[in-house]
Amino acid sequence: MVETVRAMFPDIPTAAIQADLQRTGSVETTVDNALRDGGLPMPVSTTPSQTNSPSPSPSNASTSSRKSAQHDNLLQRYKISPDQDGTVEPPKVWEADPQKRQDALQKRKAFMVMQARQKLLEKQQQKDQPQPVLESPAVKPFEDLSVEELNTLTPEQRREHMLQAYEKKVSQP
């Protein structure tokens, strides 16, 4: 019974699960308590032998999360080859075999990671390329621009147009 609850709530200490199971006598009630309260209270008298169990404890769980945080990037974390093609989306099908479902999930995960990586690289390339600077005298006046043209302006270009309009208005008598 302890392992059943432990499988659903790996972060709850075994001693707390055991104490609640002894008190309630029901796995269902213990699960309800854990869901309702967000955990189970530790028993009043716990000995070190009760808290050190063969199943993973919260400290072991946090150690494993720290290990995954040591990966430099998502490719290493999910063991994805950088040569993998990220342009073809894997099919979204529900397989009857659990292993095939797991493989499909891994392929979708790899696809999403590769897509995110590709977008990041494109963004970095755009940042590295110099943006064309709008020369104010050679462009149409602000009043003559269409809505589509206004939407394509960079913030710097908009500021330049607004400055020109302001100077034009101030210089008029």
Average pLDDT, the chain: 77
Type and span of the H or E element at 129: none
Instruction: Check whether residue 111 and residue 57 sit in a common domain.
Output: no
Return the closest-CA partner of residue 106 out of 85, 79, 144, 133: 79
CA–CA separation, 24 vs 30, rounded Å? Answer: 7
pLDDT digits (tens, 9 = 90+) for 15-52: 999 999 999 999 999 998 888 888 888 887 655 444 44
Instruction: Check whether residue 113 and residue 142 sit in a common domain.
Output: no
Instruction: Check whether residue 124 and residue 162 sit in a common domain.
Output: no
CA–CA separation, 56 vs 10, rounded Å? Answer: 7
CA–CA separation, 82 vs 110, rounded Å? Answer: 10
Q: What is the pLDDT of residue 136?
A: 45
Instruction: Check whether residue 110 and residue 156 sit in a common domain.
Output: no
CA–CA separation, 162 vs 154, rounded Å? Answer: 12
Instruction: Check whether residue 107 and residue 123 sit in a common domain.
Output: yes
Instruction: Check whether residue 82 and residue 60 sit in a common domain.
Output: no
Secondary structure E strands in 3-107: none
CB-count exposure of residue 122 (10 Å: 0-12, 13-18, 19+):
exposed
C-beta of residue 82 within 8 angstroms of C-beta of residue 120: no
> How many domains does the chain divide into?
3
pLDDT digits (tens, 9 = 90+) for 79-119: 777 777 667 888 888 888 999 889 888 888 888 888 888 88
Instruction: Check whether residue 113 and residue 96 sit in a common domain.
Output: yes
Instruction: Check whether residue 45 and residue 95 sit in a common domain.
Output: no
Q: What is the pLDDT of residue 70?
A: 63
Instruction: Check whether residue 103 and residue 58 sit in a common domain.
Output: no
User: Which backbone phi and psi does 49 adopt, to 5 degrees?
Assistant: -70, -30
Instruction: Check whether residue 58 and residue 78 sit in a common domain.
Output: no
Instruction: Check whether residue 124 and residue 140 sit in a common domain.
Output: no
Which CATH number does the domain housing residue 56 bear?
Answer: 1.10.8
Give Cα 150 distance to the centre of its chain.
34
Q: What is the pLDDT of residue 167?
A: 84
Instruction: Check whether residue 8 and residue 45 sit in a common domain.
Output: yes
Which residue range(s) make up the domain with 96?
Answer: 72-128
The model's pTM is 0.37
Single out the residue in 33, 64, 95 at which a domain terminates. 64
Q: What is the pLDDT of residue 128?
A: 82
Single out the residue in 64, 87, 117 at which a domain terminates. 64
